[in-house]
Amino acid sequence: MARTWFITGCSSGFGEAIAKAARALGDNVVATSREAAKLGDLAQIGAYTVSLDVNSPQKDIDALVAEAVNKYGSIDILVNNAGYILEGGVEEVSDEEVRAQFDTNVFGQLAVTRAVLPYMRAKKSGVIANMGSIAGWRGGINCGMYCSAKFALIGITEALRKEVEPLGITVVAIEPGYFRTNFLSGGHKVSPKKTIDDLVPVIKPVKDMFAMYNHQQPGDPLKGAQLIVEALTGTGRCADKRLPARLAIGTDAVAMISEVLEDKKKELDDWKDLAITTDLAA
């Protein structure tokens, strides 16, 4: 029986690739973007394409999800993929710019999840995949706000996973490394209006590195999307595997996460003897 996917941010990158891989399985796909007109390729392969801005009022998102459920009978897999990078130093980004980043990358995902969960709870099954990033493991120069949004998403994902697991619903964060998509260019990456001269020597080399790395990333988005689809459906190479709370995708992701875990363990061990002196006396 065909599953039904609801995927946000399908105009390019992972959203588009996941939608195509899901359709290749014969599944129903509700593919969304702020402008459905940009989803012509997905419409041609049978995806149901609709316009959705994840920053819309909750009632509008609820109505669109209800329309999808009315069309296909259920939503079996939700992929929260919509998002963008806000680069810049922590002091450089304005309150307005930071709030816009969180609105799309965190609160927008929450809004879509709230709309879908009642249907999954009713049938006691479903999978919710939040597109995280290796940025959710370590804060980095020039991308502190993007990293912080991904950190927030991980906290939400891990909490929700525990809350709904008894109801037959699985929640996972997909954490890709660098894949050769357009995510480091165009409207997917925005810069703050303000620049602080004192920070230029620290930030400019990282900004230049991002520019040079654009379209030179090691990850193949088609291979990444195929693995994601197999993981979320429990098919192919992922048959009989239990989805982890955090699923790394890419050689660079595995390497970086391993390094972070080792560094954090060393820091904890270095300070352990002092940390444990702060409890109340027995």
Closest listed residue to residue 76, CA positions, set 127, 133, 26, 38: 127
Among 189, 234, 239, residue whose Cα is nearest residue 210: 189
E-state strands within 4-80: 4-7, 28-33, 48-51, 77-80
Q: Cα–Cα distance between 195 and 25 in angstroms, integer?
A: 47
- What is the rounded CA–CA span in Å between residue 209 and residue 222? 24
Cβ atoms within 10 Å of 164's Cβ, excluding its own: 18
Q: What is the 3-state secondary structure (H, E, C) of 75-116?
A: CCEEEECCCCEECECCCCCCHHHHHHHHHHHHHHHHHHHHHH
Angle between helices 144-164 and 95-102 (to 10 degrees): 30
Say which of 48, 72, 146, 178 is annotated catalytic: 146
Annotation marks residue 119 as catalytic: no
CA pair distance 172, 127, nearest whole angstrom: 8
Question: DSSP state, 241?
Answer: P
Give the pLDDT band (50/70/90) at residue 258.
Answer: very high
Q: pLDDT-derived band of residue 217, with 50, 70 and 90 as boundaries?
A: confident
Query: What pLDDT score was predicted for residue 214?
Result: 72
Q: What is the mean pLDDT of the chain?
A: 93
The string of pLDDT tens digits covering residues 52-67 is 999 999 999 999 999 9
**Which domains, from first to last, does the chain contain?**
4-254 (3.40.50.720)
pLDDT, one tens digit per residue, over 139-149 is 999 999 999 99
What's the residue count for the chain?
282
Q: How far is CA 99 from CA 57, 94, 144, 195, in A?
A: 16, 9, 13, 18
* pLDDT tens profile 61-111: 999 999 999 999 999 999 999 999 999 999 999 999 999 999 999 999 999
Rounded to the nearest 5 degrees, what angle is found at the Cα of 112, between the Cα atoms of 108 and 115? 140
Which candidate, 175, 173, 170, places its Cα nearest to that of 76? 170
